[in-house]
Amino acid sequence: MSSPSAEVRAAGGEPVLEAEGLVKTFRAGSVLRPERVRAVDGVSLSLRPGEVLGVVGESGCGKSTTARMLVGLDAPDGGRLLYRGEDVTRLRVRDRRLLRRGVQMIFQDPYSSLDPRMSVADLVTEPLAANRRGDRRSRRSRAGELLELVGLDPSAMNRYAHQFSGGQRQRIGVARALALDPDVLVCDEPVSALDVSVQAQVVNLIDDLRRTLGVAVVFIAHDLSVVEHVADEVAVMYLGRVVEHGPADAVFSAPTHPYTRALLSATPSVEVADRGRLGRRRLLKGEPPSPLDPPTGCTFHPRCWLADERCSAEVPLLRRPDAVGLPLVPTARAACHHAEALLTEETAATPA
Amino acid sequence: MPPIPSPTPGAPALTVRGLSVDFATDHGLVRAVRSVDLDVAPGELVALLGESGSGKSVTARSVLGLAGAGAEVSADVLEVGGTPVLGLSPDGLRRIRGERVGLVMQDALSALNPVLTVGEQIAEILRVHRGVGRRAATARATELLALVGIPAPARRVRDHPHQFSGGMRQRILIAMAIALEPELLIADEPTTALDVTVQAQVLELLDDLRHRLGMAVLLITHDLGVVMETSDRVAVMYAGRVVETGPTTEVLSSPRHPYTEALLRSVPSRAGRDRLLTIPGSPPSPTAVPPGCSFHPRCRLAVEHCRDVRPDLLTVLPGRAAACHRSDELVEEVRDVVTVG
């Protein structure tokens, strides 16, 4: 194993960013009947240098809110956020400074996330200027380096965002995020606004950066095939909680949570052999529930085919399923009372 | 009002020959669609696959006379169920829409009227087009909601659009589009804004409707997985033209156009953990389409000839056509890779 990624991953070591039981609530309802909705309800994640953590889930599952807390854009209402072992949860001035240098965000929409009145050089080096790093001349040369790093010609510096295509704009967004040499890039749906033929370029770029710079990546997406491709670890979210967490290959080949199973079976595939797969998919009952009125116990229970009384009463904790009677030792953790039954069902359904 | 022409028995649900659409803009003439041919048989689901700016939506909307302000639409043939659509008066077009062709759009929230109940909106279609009485129209609206899989339709018919989830609103739009039992349903990216589990439900509904009601469906999408999962045939569009067409399983398993092939190679699930193969550059803007074959600047097989001469869409196999000078080389190359690997 001589590839740089293997070295970086082996060097892994201490987590650069850790979230412990993050909670974020928002005000909802009317002035007369104020309510609070728990958008993120106890999410724990950790990230080592050079590691790519994929976060998947459907709209409203809290994945974007989690991302905003990880980069310090929103203060958590509970839990802890640690950057290189230092507690930055409260987002004091010092915490913000630490996070801004170490953790940067790449946004979904490369059209609205870049100021149309700034030149590319100013866009890319704005983080340096804001942190009073270097003078104008040194920042310009840094802009050239950054643009080259993301595969753009340094002559792009004097142009404006609207003169670039979506894929190129996303590269500018990445260059800007890299300006302060962060340890962590948090990418919130970085390719979903891009054309299919352009998505692959940006996915490869992010993968390259992880290899060459050893930067850790949180990759948030609803497209499971992209996450399967880039992620080392995957966290599956449902209604503000992580319901499954583990190595990407384990989560995608033998999911230990029924929701992951349903998500995977509902994703259309381009393989001829898979045609008609949606007809054979795991049907979920009903619709995703409202976070305003979450179901009791396991929040997935009203839609789950394995649910029983225990599921509506008792919140399942994230745990490694018991390996007794299973051909493979599970490596992912699932928040499900029936993870063992699901894995047995899996083995029964697919004869080796 | 003159009677609406009824469909010619045995005619395809949709026939398009030589469709071109131009837009006059401040930056000059934008040639959005060039010489497109399409056929959709009754009960058939045809996918129109393309990226942004490929002209897929404009093609579909032109069928309904909805190409937009400033659009110059021309075609040799543009027929819905044997009835010519081009040159119809605005009133005639309005009656073809809904009666003969239903349209489902991407953004269900903006396509519905927020101040009317969904029942009123469906009933309105029946009352205006069919002269059905208020009570009977509401009853039929309830049936339609049941048909598209909305639970408790008798109660939900009195709800407003905001009371439904995204997937449910998309079902309501489909119910409205099929209210008059049109022979052709045009679905423009109907699942793009939806989550995968909900998308699967909506795609299944479309498939079910065409089997049960024998409706033809023209599905506009950018998603290769959706195309593979649902369609019988596919037409791949690039820079305003159809570049490849044929049965879906054949086109997506052994493409004859380098663009189709490159699209397939850039799908992550095909690559495993290997580096994704990419298509250099990005799709051309309709205002600056390259000369010759419009894909040549991004094509790995391009030769001098491709820069100079635009390839025609030619039959390469029975039922299949591709617009590429290098189609044979592409097939040979893929065959070599298969035999070597």
Q: What is the mean pLDDT of residues A294-303?
A: 93
Looking at every residue in chain B, the average pLDDT score rounds to 89
Residues of chain B with pLDDT > 70, as a percent, come to 96
Categorize the per-residue pLDDT at B202 as very low, low, confident or very high, splitting at 50, 70 and 90. confident
The dihedral through the CA atoms of B57, B59, B63, B68 has a sign that is: positive
Contact residues, chain B, for A277 at CB < 8 Å: 229
Q: Which chain A residue has the Cα nearest residue B274?
A: A229
Q: For residue A352, what pLDDT is reported?
A: 35
Q: Which residues, at least 6 apart from B143, have a Cβ–Cβ distance to it below 8 Å? A: B153
For A150-189, how does the pLDDT look when each residue is reduced to its tens digit (9 = 90+)? 989 888 899 999 888 888 999 999 999 999 999 999 999 9
Query: Mind telling me how many Å the CA of B192 is from chain A's nearest CA?
Result: 10
Q: Cβ contact (<8 Å) for A195 and B282?
A: yes
Q: What is the bridge-based pairing of β-strands B101-104 and B83-84?
A: unpaired
A63 — pLDDT class (breaks 50, 70, 90): very high
* Contact A250/B at CB under 8 A: no
> What mean pLDDT do residues A335-345 have?
89
Confirm or reject contact between A344 and chain B (CB < 8 A). no
Evaluate if residue B92 carries a pLDDT over 70: yes
B302 phi and psi angles, rounded to 5 deg: -60, 140
pLDDT of residue A6: 42
Question: What is the pLDDT at residue A274?
Answer: 84
- Please report where in the chains the tokens 């600056």 appear, as a residue: B288
Residues within 8 A of A (CB atoms), B 233-292 only: 249, 252-253, 262-264, 266-273, 275-279, 282-283
User: What pLDDT shows up at residue A1?
Assistant: 37
- Residue bearing the bigger pLDDT, B269 or B85: B85
Tell me how close the Cα of A341 comes to any Cα of chain B, in angstroms: 22
Say what the pLDDT of residue A12 is: 60
Which of B49, B197, B199 would you mutate first to test chain A, the one with the most A CBs within 10 A? Answer: B197
Judged by a CB distance cut-off of 8 A, whether residue B88 touches chain A is no
Chain B residues with beta carbon closer than 8 angstroms to that of A229? 268-269, 271-273, 276
ipTM of the complex: 0.83
pLDDT at B7 over 80: no
Whether B218 contacts B48, CB under 8 Å: yes
Contact B193/B155 with Cβ under 8 angstroms?
Answer: no
Residue-averaged pLDDT of chain A: 87
Residue A51 CA, chain-centre distance (Å), reads 12
Distance from CA of B208 to the nearest CA of A (A): 11
Closest chain B residue to A278, measured at CA: B200
Q: Determine which of A202, A278, A285 to mutate to test the interface with B (most B C-beta atoms within 10 Å).
A: A278
Q: Closest Cα of chain A to B275: distance in Å?
A: 7
What is the DSSP code string of B203-241? Answer: HHHHHHHHHHH--EEEEEES-HHHHHHH-SEEEEEETTE
Quick check: B228 and A288 CB within 8 A? no
Q: What beta strand segments (E) does B52-112 contain?
A: 71-74, 77-80, 83-84, 101-104
Instruction: Give the pLDDT confidence of B221-278 residue by residue, as tens digits.
Output: 999 999 999 999 999 999 999 999 999 999 999 999 999 999 998 888 766 677 888 8
Q: Which of residues 199-238 of B touch A (CB under 8 A)?
A: 199-200, 203-204, 222-230
Judge whether residue A346 has pLDDT over 70.
no
- The model's confidence at residue B296, banded by pLDDT at 50, 70 and 90, is very high
A199 touches chain B (CB under 8 A): yes
- Tokens found for residue B255: 């493409």
Q: What is the pLDDT of residue B209?
A: 87
Residue B265 contacts residue B78 (beta carbons within 8 Å) = no
Best of A197, A209, A290 to substitute, by most chain B Cβ atoms within 10 angstroms, is A197
B40 Cβ under 8 Å from any chain A Cβ: no
Share of chain A above pLDDT 90, in %: 57
pLDDT interval class at A2 (50, 70, 90): very low
Closest approach of A297 to chain B, Cα-based (Å):
22
Residue A128, C-beta contacts closer than 8 angstroms, at least 6 positions apart = A134, A139, A142, A179, A180
- Which pLDDT does position B100 carry in this prediction? 92
How sure is the predictor about B105, in pLDDT bands with cuts at 50, 70 and 90? Answer: confident
Residue with tokens 């409202």: A290
Q: How far apart are CA B4 and CA B92, in angstroms?
A: 8
User: Could you tell me if A266 lies within 8 Å of chain B, comparing CB atoms?
Assistant: yes
Cβ-contact A336, A262 below 8 angstroms: no
Entry field: residues in chain A: 352
Q: Is B98 left (phi over 0), alpha (psi -120 to 50) or beta?
A: left
Which residues in chain A are contacts of B272 at CB distance < 8 A? Answer: 229
Nearest-CA distance from A125 to chain B in Å?
A: 25
Q: Could you say which of B165, B228, B278 has the minimum Cβ distance to residue A287?
A: B165
List the alpha helices (DSSP H) in chain A. Answer: 4-11, 63-70, 93-102, 120-130, 136-149, 166-178, 196-213, 224-230, 248-253, 258-266, 309-313, 339-349
Provide the pLDDT for residue B337: 60
Q: pLDDT digit string (tens) for B18-73?
A: 999 999 888 788 899 999 999 999 999 999 999 888 999 999 999 888 888 888 99
- Cβ of B162 under 8 Å from any chain A Cβ? no
Residue entry with tokens 């994703």: A267
Chain A, chain B: beta-carbon pairs less than 8 Å apart: 122
User: Closest partner residue to B229 among A58, A196, A275, by Cβ?
Assistant: A275
Q: Cβ of B222 and A196 within 8 Å?
A: yes
pLDDT in tens, A229-272: 999 999 999 999 999 999 999 999 889 999 999 999 888 888 88
Distance (Å) from the alpha carbon of A287 to chain B's nearest alpha carbon: 8
Distance CA A17, CA A71 (A): 10
Candidates B168, B273, B275; nearest CB to A204: B275
What residues of chain A lie within 8 A of the CB of B200, using their CB?
266, 268, 278, 281
Give all domains of chain A, ordered by start, each with its CATH number. 4-238 (3.40.50.300), 254-349 (no CATH)
Q: Which residues contact B336 (CB under 8 A, 6 or more apart)?
A: none
Helices (H) and strands (E) in chain A, counts: 12, 11
Domain ranges of chain B: 114-173, 253-340
Between B119 and B191, name the one with better pLDDT: B119
Give Cβ neighbours of residue B271 (< 8 Å, ≥ 6 apart).
A229, B265, B277
Find, among A238, A255, A239, the residue nearest to A247 by Cα.
A255
pLDDT at A345: 76
Nearest to A270 among B198, B264, B282 (CB): B264
| Contact (CB<8Å) B266/A200 | yes
For residue A351, the model assigns a pLDDT of 40
Q: Quote the CA–CA distance of A196 and A192 in Å, as a whole number.
A: 9
**CA distances to A35, B108, B109, B167 from B192, in Å:** 31, 11, 13, 11
Rounded to 5°, angle at Cα B62 from B57 and B65: 130
Task: Kindly state the average pLDDT of the residues A85-109.
Answer: 90
Residue written as tokens 């002269």? Answer: B131
Q: Which of B302, B315, B319 is nearest to B259 (CA)?
A: B302
Q: Which two tokens stand for residue B107?
A: 């953004």
H or E element at residue A43 = strand A34-47
Contacts of residue A58 in chain B, CB cutoff 8 Å?
195-198
Q: How far apart are CA A192 and CA A110, in angstroms?
A: 10
Q: Are strands B14-25 and B77-80 parallel, antiparallel or unpaired?
A: antiparallel
